[in-house]
């Protein structure tokens, strides 16, 4: 059996906080490696607001794992993620062999989520365009 490329996006409970999330990400990375997988990339996307409540939570930490693994390894990884209490949801997708790696998403800070209201949102729109005549 040949290894295939996969990516798994994991939604982690917000009560874990930053240190708990980093620890859980490391635990998931080790789980993948224990199942014969080779992790190529791990991205911690940080805390994000959810589009709808998941397990009565409005926020959650996201982590993306890209790796190579066999079918049996993928099934065992999925089973273990299902049993982890801090994992609210996860989704695993098979990638094409020639697909480029996921672009790096930088960790967003909470103040970056909603830009300040007094900042100029648009360029060249609004009152005062071109000055007074």
Closest CA relative to residue 61, chosen from 24, 112, 7, 6: 24
> For 15-64, how does the pLDDT look when each residue is reduced to its tens digit (9 = 90+)?
999 999 999 999 999 999 999 999 999 999 999 999 999 999 999 999 99
Q: Phi first, then psi: what are they for 78, rounded to 5°?
A: -60, -40
Distance of CA 52 to the CA centre of its chain: 16
Residue 113 predicted with pLDDT over 90: no
Could you give all domains of the chain from N- to C-terminal order, each with its CATH number? 4-63+70-97 (3.30.70.60)
Q: For the whole model, what pTM was predicted?
A: 0.76
Task: Report the distance separating Cα 51 and Cα 101, nearest Å.
Answer: 26
């Amino acid at each position: 059996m040949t290894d295939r490329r996969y990516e798994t996006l994991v939604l982690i409970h917000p009560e874990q906080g930053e240190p708990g999330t980093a620890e859980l990400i490391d635990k998931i990375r080790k789980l993948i490696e224990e199942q014969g997988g080779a992790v190529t990339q791990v991205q911690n996307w940080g805390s994000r607001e959810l589009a709808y409540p998941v397990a009565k939570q409005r926020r959650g930490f996201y982590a993306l794992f890209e790796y190579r693994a066999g079918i049996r390894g993928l099934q065992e990884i999925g089973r273990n993620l299902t049993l982890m209490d801090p994992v609210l949801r996860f989704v695993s997708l098979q990638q094409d062999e020639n697909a480029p790696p996921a672009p790096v998403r930088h960790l967003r800070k909470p103040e970056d989520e909603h830009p300040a209201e007094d900042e100029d949102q648009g360029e060249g729109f609004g009152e005062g365009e071109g000055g007074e005549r």
